[in-house]
Amino acid sequence: MKHLLIAGNGFVGTVTQKLFTMSGWKVTTMSRNGVGDQHADLCSVESIRSLSRSIACPTHVLHCASAGGGGVDAYSTVYREGVRNLSEIFPNAHKLFTSSTSVYPQVQGEVVTEESATNPERETGQILREAERLVLEGKGTVLRLAGVYGSGRSYLIRRFLAGEAAMEEDGSRLLNHTHHQDAARAVLFLCEMGDSSRGEIYNVCDSHPMSQLETYRALASIFGRELPPSVPRNLQSKRGWSNKAVSNAKVRALGWEPAYPSLVGAAEEIAASLK
């Protein structure tokens, strides 16, 4: 029986567990805070080794843990060391890693694909690339997620409805998003492809990148609000400032399609879940 071990039982991990279970998979979840089936520390190889003795051997391992808003040290231990620990203890399992489109540093509004340059200036982005490299060297699969939102969570919509949003300069910066249900569906889709997805990178995001101005105009129309004020661009963002249109054409060509093609299309549903 196919058995998925989910390392990280948070926003993406929770919906992934439900989807895989509904699809007939055996699923084991683990987290450091004890939420899920098993308590285990991703950052400790001994903790993962102890976990391996208490569960059936997984055929697939998904690393979707979060650094919890931490800095370089948190990124290093959760992502780089976490991937290394899972690879050491479960060498024969198909490893999947939810990385981030923040590894693309483009700033000119370019369309970026999995072949585009990834040379992030921030050390956190560099650590993500190192974790990706470890996964790919082990013939695993990397999913680069754009800004994740979903039921009960959308930083952009929450701030807009609270009157706290701001538009950078003329609002031309492009935004890319991923609904957490679409992220989970992409993980299942790639797992069920078998070995053909191994050693590959896939951008997992919506199909309609929109500028800040287009996004806020649409939200203003939907909710009957004013456009947010313009402010200078935020060059101090933790993940670095970028401006790009992330393409999901590679995974779509295989047959996957996002159920939520744009954040704006899901805005009313998300807004209702924020109350």
> What is the percent of the chain with per-residue pLDDT over 70, rounded to a whole number?
98
> CB count, 10 Å around CB of 18?
13
Burial 191-223 (b: 16+ CB within 10 A, else e): bebeeebbebbbbbbbeebbbbbbbbbbbeeee
68 DSSP β-pair partners: none
Distance CA 148, CA 98 (A): 11
pLDDT in tens, 38-64: 999 999 999 999 999 999 999 999 999
pLDDT in tens, 109-157: 999 999 999 988 889 999 999 999 999 999 999 999 999 999 999 999 9
**Through-space distance between the first and last CA atoms of the chain, rounded to whole angstroms:** 40
Contact criterion met (CB below 8 Å) for 63 and 40: no
Structural domains of the chain ordered from first start: 3-273 (3.40.50.720)
